[in-house]
């Protein structure tokens, strides 16, 4: 789970913006004790107007884990496609994240330009005492970075040398492990990288999500299939089951396309004789009938895609960064999704953006104001600013929703007159 995060000079973010998931409340459904006496919030919500920068904080969190986890194989690759803040484009981007893995705290900090990492440090706390994992300082484009490894890792000199030689200036030392075959003494690298790969999920993870292929896997997994059916029935879609049906097309049907000059990938898909279609079984008081995927509503399909995240959240120690979770979902479905997560998860974390201000009227947020951040652009710098709900000093009897509606919390679009002069 993520303990805290900060970033500066990234996309719409100028000065340092800090996000802290340490809880003020102990031992309830919204928190998790990740280590003795350390309680973290399982939920984080970013609310704000369009173009306020809600998504950018998720992308920043995503990027720092990608930097730790994924090496570059070409020295000319940019570190990230996300540029620095436009008003400070010549300055480096700086990020920090601390997180728990199996009750061990890790703290990572990095400073980088688009072409190279200026410096990075990784500390960890085995037995709750601070120990160096590694420290790296940039020396020059044609020079290897100065890298120092912590003695507690127990790395052999050959292992250290291999990591140093394979660390390009545009990727992290940790990720260099993926480029070389190392012995058992580097298990600390392997363990951390595997955890990031398995449990930290990108904000754009479901882009390109093939619902047909995924539901085919679901129907072949009894536990996952049962969960999906229960959630679809509870959502009142009248969906009793789903099935991915396959069909093998006759060769004669595809023969006219064999000599066509087409893109190789497209042609390969076109000539694939096996086709799949997703069918949902609906049940109501009068009939049982089937509907194909194309006839289901956009909201239904959005909910089905979200179930992939929800299942993982309640069955494992996952961290999900979800952009616009509420998009296409009825408010009651969104709230139901959140409650299923809250009451059934353990050591999982859901961090998402939303424009659904009705959430502010729920006891969930009024009693736990450290779960929500309000996002708005500064009138002075046009940079995104993030303010946690408990930082406004509102009396506990004052509703977040009402306070937001009258403008006390910012993060609202400032609209002018609805009368338009076209002259």
**Largest alpha-carbon pair distance within the chain?**
76
CB distance 56 to 11 below 8 Å: yes
Contact (CB, 8 A) for 196 and 178: no
Instruction: State the Rg of the chain over Cα.
Output: 25
Higher pLDDT pick, 289 / 134: 134
Mean per-residue pLDDT of the chain: 89
Q: What is the pTM of this model?
A: 0.89
- Which domains, and CATH codes, for the chain? 2-201 (no CATH), 211-322+324-355 (3.40.50)
Residue 422 has pLDDT above 80, yes or no: no
Region 145-169 average pLDDT: 94
The tens digit of pLDDT for each residue in 281-337 reads 998 877 888 888 788 888 888 899 899 999 999 999 999 999 999 988 899 999 999
pLDDT at 397 over 70: yes
> What are the beta bridge partners of residue 134?
122, 149
% residues pLDDT > 70 (the chain): 92
Tokens 């969930």, located at residue = 364
Alpha-carbon torsion (276, 277, 278, 280), positive or negative: negative
Q: What's residue 275's pLDDT?
A: 72
Looking only at the bridges linking them, the beta strands covering 17-20 and 2-8 are antiparallel
pLDDT over threshold 90, residue 42 = yes
Terminal CA-to-CA distance of the chain, rounded, Å?
Answer: 56
Quick check: 164 pLDDT over 80? yes
Q: What is the pLDDT of residues 182-227, one digit of tens each?
A: 778 999 999 999 999 999 998 877 776 788 888 999 999 999 999 9
Helix extents (H) in 131-276: 157-165, 173-176, 187-199, 211-219, 222-234, 251-254, 264-270
Chain centre distance of CA 296:
27
Closest CA to 136 of 101, 100, 109: 109
* 19-39 confidence digits (pLDDT tens): 999 997 776 899 999 999 899
Query: Over 60: is that where the pLDDT of 249 sits?
Result: no
Distance CA(375)–CA(369), nearest Å, equals 14
**Strand-by-strand arrangement of the 17-20 sheet:** 17-20, 2-8, 93-101, 104-112, 117-124, 131-137, 146-149
- For the residues 331-345, what does the mean pLDDT come to? 94
């Amino acid at each position: 789970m993520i303990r805290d995060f900060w970033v500066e000079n990234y996309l719409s973010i100028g000065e340092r913006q800090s996000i802290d998931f340490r809880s003020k409340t102990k031992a309830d459904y919204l928190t998790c004790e990740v280590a003795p006496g350390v309680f973290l919030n399982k939920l984080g919500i970013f609310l704000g107007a369009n173009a306020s920068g809600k998504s950018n904080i998720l992308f920043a969190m995503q990027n720092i884990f990608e930097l730790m986890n994924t090496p570059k194989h070409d020295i000319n690759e940019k570190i990230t496609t996300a540029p620095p803040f436009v008003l400070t484009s010549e300055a480096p981007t700086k990020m920090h994240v601390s997180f728990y893995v199996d009750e061990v705290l890790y703290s990572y900090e990095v400073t980088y330009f688009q072409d190279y990492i200026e410096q990075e440090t990784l500390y960890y706390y085995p037995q709750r005492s601070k120990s160096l994992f590694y420290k790296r300082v940039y020396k020059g484009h044609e020079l290897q970075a100065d890298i120092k490894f912590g003695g507690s890792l127990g790395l052999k000199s050959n292992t250290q040398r291999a990591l140093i030689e394979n660390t390009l200036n545009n990727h992290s030392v940790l990720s260099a492990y993926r480029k070389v075959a190392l012995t058992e003494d580097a298990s600390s690298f392997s363990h951390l990288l595997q955890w990031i790969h398995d449990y930290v999920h990108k904000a754009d993870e479901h882009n390109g999500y093939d619902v047909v292929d995924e539901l085919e896997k679901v129907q072949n997994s009894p536990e996952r299939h049962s969960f999906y059916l229960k959630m679809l029935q509870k959502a009142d879609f009248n969906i009793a089951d789903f099935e991915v049906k396959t069909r093998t097309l006759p060769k004669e049907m595809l023969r006219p396309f064999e000599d066509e000059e087409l893109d190789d990938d497209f042609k390969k898909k076109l000539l694939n004789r096996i086709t799949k279609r997703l069918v949902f079984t609906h049940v109501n008081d009068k009939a049982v009938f089937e509907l194909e995927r194309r006839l289901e509503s956009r909201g239904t399909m959005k909910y089905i895609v979200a179930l992939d995240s929800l299942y993982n959240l309640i069955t494992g120690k996952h961290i999900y960064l979800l952009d616009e979770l509420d998009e296409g979902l009825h408010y009651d479905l969104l709230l139901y999704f959140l409650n299923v997560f809250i009451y059934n998860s353990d050591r999982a974390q859901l961090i998402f953006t939303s424009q659904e201000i009705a959430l502010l009227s729920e006891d969930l947020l009024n009693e736990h104001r450290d779960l929500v951040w309000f996002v708005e652009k500064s009138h002075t710098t046009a940079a995104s600013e993030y303010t946690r709900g408990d930082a406004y000093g509102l009396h506990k009897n004052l509703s977040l929703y009402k306070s937001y509606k009258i403008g006390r919390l910012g993060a609202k679009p400032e609209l002018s007159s609805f009368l338009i002069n076209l002259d």
